[in-house]
Structure 1
């Protein structure tokens, strides 16, 4: 029988810490802190709702992160 895969750990980092930062600075910082995928989205962008371990999403308005969430 095959082993059950263990998902990688997510960084112990609060998405709220990125709100208000310039988008390029937030992306750089998130990568440094260990997020495997960082996704910047315009407000109202249609996205799928699947959860991806290690992904951090940013909603960017006027060049700044207005919202951030995991998955």
Structure 2
């Protein structure tokens, strides 16, 4: 698998810190911390694997973030 690129324009933020938060609060916090794109997905969603700097992904169910990752 290709190495994940590091973009200095990305916020210095821990994606794991969003787990357990309500989706709307997590989205607002992520944007306030400088993420340009926040994407909310259902668990086990089929998505492409391209890396987009500045994007934060949330897997969410029942209005709660289950996990989060960059790209």
TM-score (ref. length: structure 1): 0.87
- Alignment root-mean-square deviation, CA: 1.0
Alignment partner of 1:10 is 2:10:
yes
Structure with larger Rg: 1
Structure 1, unaligned stretches of length 5 or more?
1-6
**How big is each residue's C-alpha offset from its partner over 1:8-67, in whole Å with a ceiling of 9 and x where there is no partner?**
610000001100000000000000000000000001211000000000000001110001
Structure 1 segments of 4+ aligned residues over 4 angstroms from their partners: none
Q: Aligned residue for 1:21?
A: 21
5 Å matches for 1:1-71? 9-71=9-71
Given that 1:18 and 1:26 are in contact with CA atoms closer than 8 Å, whether structure 2 keeps it comes out as yes
In structure 2, distance between residues paired with 1:33 and 1:49: 24
Structure 2, unaligned stretches of length 5 or more?
1-6
Q: Aligned residue for 2:4?
A: none
SS of aligned partner of 1:16? helix
TM-score (ref. length: structure 2): 0.87
